[in-house]
Chains A and B, each alone.
Chain A
Amino acid sequence: MAMSFSLPLVKMQALHKSYADGAIQVLKGIDIEMKPGERVVVIGPSGGGKSTLLRVMMGLEKIDSGSVTFDGKPYISSGVKESKTVIDMSVRRSIGMVFQHYTLFPHLNVLQNLTLAPCKVRGEAKAKAQDRAQTLLERFGLGAKAKAYPAQLSGGQKQRVAIARALMLDPKLMLFDEVTSALDPELVGEVEQVILQLAAQNMPMMIVTHDMWFARNIASRVIFCAGGVVVEDGPPEQVLGSPKEERTKEFIDRVFHINQ
């Protein structure tokens, strides 16, 4: 049997997460192992826990129980006291995230948005960070926008800047949380192109999206998440093309507007 023995990049074990003191359970025991170089697309109905999963991975949400290791190192675990979540900050620094609503800092121009974290977090020299930022912006077709403020950019440009900003910290894993959902339809393509560019360079990523065309094009693996559990997990042809589980099938049919 052909098996790869590479260590998992991410290993989530029995992740549980609830809101409102346990009244609303969002994650009900998630186990996902992700190998280096994999591009995992998470799909599923709203409220199924997709975004929460990404936010937990970024260390933005506490968990009730379970653990996450990253690159073989313990990253997130629920502490001894129930309300405490232990997050290794040095591990968190090797993960980058892009959000639905751009979240550029409005008072900083594009270049300053990109250099803030490298200079403050890693103590990088300003000139060096600016050089790297300019190179990255050129690559994303934004070279002329370095001095522009976020309010002067289109949604697609803002989102590309946000991706560049996350890349400035040389992440080993990128998380994309519905990054094209807030965009006008004609601007979706330019953002997806940038992510496909990263995929071509083997950047490991976890993507939450409702865009099935994009999912099919970028995923090396698709996970269907509903009701806080992983319902189906496999290569894109299988999960999107001929799903085994009835719930996956229903969802895919509905997304593609196929009526029986």
Chain B
Amino acid sequence: MEYTFDFNAVSLAPLLKGLWVSLELTVAANVIGIVFGFGLALLIMSPFKLVRLPFMLFVEFFRCTPAIVQIVWIFYCVPMLFDVFLDPITMGVLALGLNLMAFNAEAYRASIQAVPKEQIDAGIALGLTPVQRILHIVFPTAFRASVPVLLTNGIVIFQQSALVAIVAIQDLMYQGKSLATETYRPIETFTVVALIYFAVSFPVTQIVGLLERRRQLLVS
């Protein structure tokens, strides 16, 4: 191969500016996903079919369509259908946050259902009310069990956030694309972009592994 690599053309400043936007999107989406995901989990587990069904449909919609379609749909269809015009970042957060909410709700649901029935029995035997049992027994146990999956979903959303470049949000991917076009150095630019995504994600995946190993020790 006759290609000479030249990384000098890749200036880090715009890429780091883009990374900052990507991180903002990720953090905001995770706040939505972690907080409202739990509420959504309780709703899809409701004993009342009329409550349960619409929210299950919501979850399945986000789980069964590509994230890029969701982003494009929210960017172009929501303003037209509902006549609301939000700034691009808010729209991006909304698209990614709703998606993450659906996936986190599923993670919460699985952990809530994995809380042993005996724990609930013990709560009843101790006279705790249903709300106290959810607050002091089910939620803490389920939340701890969910943490590895929540972190994994969170890091997936960081990577999915690259998709918002398509609707002109100036995230890391968008800055990388501009830089590649300006410098005619796509190979170098996208290599650096990939390394930046990796540098942020890799520590988190290691933490997930650590948490899972520690949890196995605790359970056994």
- Which A residues fall within an 8 A CB radius of B? 55, 58-60, 89, 92-93, 95-97, 99, 101, 103-107, 116-117, 120-121, 151, 162, 165-166, 169
Q: Which residue of B lies closest to A93 (CB)?
A: B127
Q: Which residue of A lies closest to B144 (CB)?
A: A107
What count of chain B residues pass the 8 Å CB interface test?
18
Say whether B125 faces chain A, with CB atoms less than 8 Å apart.
Answer: yes
Pull 23 A–B residue pairs with CB atoms less than 8 Å apart, ordered by A: A55-B121, A59-B124, A60-B121, A60-B124, A60-B125, A89-B127, A92-B127, A95-B125, A97-B125, A99-B118, A99-B121, A99-B122, A103-B119, A104-B122, A105-B119, A105-B122, A105-B140, A106-B141, A116-B128, A121-B128, A151-B219, A162-B122, A169-B127
Evaluate contact between B125 and A107: CB separation under 8 angstroms: no
Q: A103-B118, A103-B119, A107-B144 are in contact. Are A96 and B136 (CB under 8 A)?
A: no
Evaluate contact between B144 and A165: CB separation under 8 angstroms: no
Residues of A within 8 A of B119 (CB): 103, 105
- The contact of B140 among A60, A107, A166, by CB within 8 Å, is A107
Q: Which residue of B lies closest to A59 (CB)?
A: B124
CA distance A1 to B31 in the complex (A): 75
Residues of B within 8 A of A117 (CB): 126-128
Say whether B45 faces chain A, with CB atoms less than 8 Å apart.
Answer: no
Total number of residue pairs linking A and B with CB closer than 8 Å: 58
Residues of A within 8 A of B127 (CB): 89, 92-93, 117, 121, 169
**B190-220 to A contact mask, C-beta < 8 Å, 1/0:** 0000000000000000000000000000110
Task: Give the Cβ gap from A113 to chain B, nearest Cβ, in Å.
Answer: 10
Say whether B137 faces chain A, with CB atoms less than 8 Å apart.
Answer: yes
**B114-150 to A contact mask, C-beta < 8 Å, 1/0:** 0010110110111110001000110011001000000
CA distance A224 to B138 in the complex (A): 37
- Which B residues fall within an 8 A CB radius of A? 116, 118-119, 121-122, 124-128, 132, 136-137, 140-141, 144, 218-219
Chain A CB within 10 A, most for which of B116, B125, B144, B219 = B125
Q: A103-B118, A107-B141, A107-B144 are in contact. Are A120 and B136 (CB under 8 A)?
A: yes
Residues of B within 8 A of A166 (CB): 125-126
Task: Give the Cβ gap from A174 to chain B, nearest Cβ, in Å.
Answer: 11
- The contact of A58 among B124, B137, B141, B218, by CB within 8 Å, is B124
Chain B CB within 10 A, most for which of A97, A99, A101, A107 = A107
Task: Give the Cβ gap from A77 to chain B, nearest Cβ, in Å.
Answer: 18
Q: Which residue of A lies closest to B139 (CB)?
A: A107
Residues of B within 8 A of A96 (CB): 125
CA distance A93 to B122 in the complex (A): 12
Chain A CB within 10 A, most for which of B132, B136, B219 = B136
Q: A92-B127, A117-B127, A169-B126 are in contact. Are A105 and B137 (CB under 8 A)?
A: yes
- The contact of B128 among A58, A104, A106, A120, by CB within 8 Å, is A120
